[in-house]
Amino acid sequence: MHLTTRQLFISHVVLLAGGGFQSALAKASSSTVSLSYIARLYSMGTSTSGKKVVMKNKWNTLEVETNSRRAWINGVMIWLHHPCRKSGSSWAVREVDFKKTIDPILRSYAYVPSKAPSVVVLDPGHGGRDSGAVGTRKVYEKKAVLSIANRVKGHLEARKIKVRMTRADDTYLTLKQRSDYAAKAGADLFVSIHADAAGAASANGIETFVLTAPGCDSSNHYGQAGNKSAGKGNTYDAANAILGFSIQSNLIKTAKRSDRGLRRARFAVLKQAPCPAALVECGFLSNPEEEALMIDANYREAVARGISNGIIGYITLVNRARK
């Protein structure tokens, strides 16, 4: 009990130490944060567009869909843990979404870790006897994602960033072996690379996952019961959102596929990650058009450029915040 009080006290002091903005932020300690409060905080003008509340300043645009978990920052979709609901006379988002998604992305300098990332661990999904998704033309996820990961590695190494891969060939690894490898390699960032599959062939586009906040529902399992406990990866909640957003924004730009958004999931590799981590889904092997793209060298290259630009973007944010 004593320890909890002490920890709370310390985090409050840290929060207030940043000056005016931080003390204003500390007042947002109720369980919801109204959109009018957020607009004031960022000096954003507010308008509405259909179901969306649109808030805008010189640098950023934040759009929140009412009665929905969807929001957009600078045009890139993000999934909130809870829907934006009417609270009194104003629309409001839950505090967890403000503190772990919206504010970290809009004011990343206040949230990024102080240590500059030097080792990036790339994790091509599946391998060996685990093929992952297999398309109707027999395109294997395990092969496509290894090829993309190798290209990402090339781009990062060209920028003098140290890269380690959980697998460099068609090897089977358990999920635990992947996060253990990241810890042993001294990973400062962990990015798992996958391709999607869905029951409906029409499902298409790109999505990036980061770990769900403790106690909340994941994006694809809303309202379902399940283990909502915290994992090691939750230590990096804010940095996870910054990394995931950077990757998703860059990836939809280079791959030019539809934006399914930055989402939340409790994938084992994210839950056990020893550092900020994201899991990228580069397209749907169950969609004939995207299956064809996954064996197209130009598309793989575009995806790899998007992922590496996202990682470099995150590293740039950390380095800038340190100055």
In this complex, which beta carbon is closest to Zn ion, that of residue 125 or of residue 233?
A: 125
In this complex, which beta carbon is closest to Zn ion, that of residue 127 or of residue 132?
A: 132
Q: Give the range of 61-69, 123-131, 236-244, 293-301 binding Zn ion by CB under 5 A.
A: 123-131
Rounded least distance, CB 173 to Zn ion, Å: 12
CA distance 107 to 267: 26
Angle between helical axes of 237-255 and 297-322 (0-180°, round to 10): 140
Strand partners, 211: 265
CA distance 55 to 289: 36
Rounded least distance, CB 254 to Zn ion, Å: 20
Q: Give the range of 56-64, 66-74, 83-91, 125-133 binding Zn ion by CB under 5 A.
A: 125-133
- Tokens in use for 300? 């793989």
Q: Are 187 and 233 in contact (CB under 8 A)?
A: no
Q: Does residue 244 touch Zn ion according to CB under 5 A?
A: no
Q: Give the range of 36-44, 112-120, 187-195, 253-261 binding Zn ion by CB under 5 A.
A: 187-195
Rounded least distance, CB 286 to Zn ion, Å: 12
Rounded least distance, CB 141 to Zn ion, Å: 5
- Which residue has the CB atom at the shortest distance from Zn ion? 194
In this complex, which beta carbon is closest to Zn ion, that of residue 84 or of residue 152?
A: 152
Q: Which helix (H) or strand (E) holds 176?
A: helix 175-184
Count of residues that bind Zn ion according to CB under 5 A: 3
Q: Are 215 and 95 in contact (CB under 8 A)?
A: no
For the beta sheet containing 119-124, the strands, ordered from the edge strand earlier in sequence to the opposite edge, are 45-49, 52-56, 61-65, 70-73, 76-79, 259-265, 206-211, 277-284, 189-196, 119-124, 162-165
Q: Considering only residues 70, 167, 194, 300, which one is a binding residue for Zn ion as defined by CB under 5 A?
A: 194
Q: Does residue 125 touch Zn ion according to CB under 5 A?
A: yes
In this complex, which beta carbon is closest to Zn ion, that of residue 132 or of residue 231?
A: 132
Rounded least distance, CB 253 to Zn ion, Å: 23
Within positions 127 to 186, which residues make up the interface with Zn ion, using CB under 5 A? 132
In this complex, which beta carbon is closest to Zn ion, that of residue 132 or of residue 310?
A: 132
Rounded least distance, CB 266 to Zn ion, Å: 15
Rounded least distance, CB 263 to Zn ion, Å: 14
Within positions 62 to 101, which residues make up the interface with Zn ion, using CB under 5 A? none
Among the listed residues 148, 143, 134, the one whose alpha carbon sits nearest the alpha carbon of residue 285: 134
Q: Are 31 and 95 in contact (CB under 8 A)?
A: yes
316 burial type by CB count under 10 A (0-12 exposed, 13-18 middle, 19+ buried)? exposed
Pairing of strands 206-211, 259-265: parallel
Binding site for Zn ion (CB under 5 A): 125, 132, 194
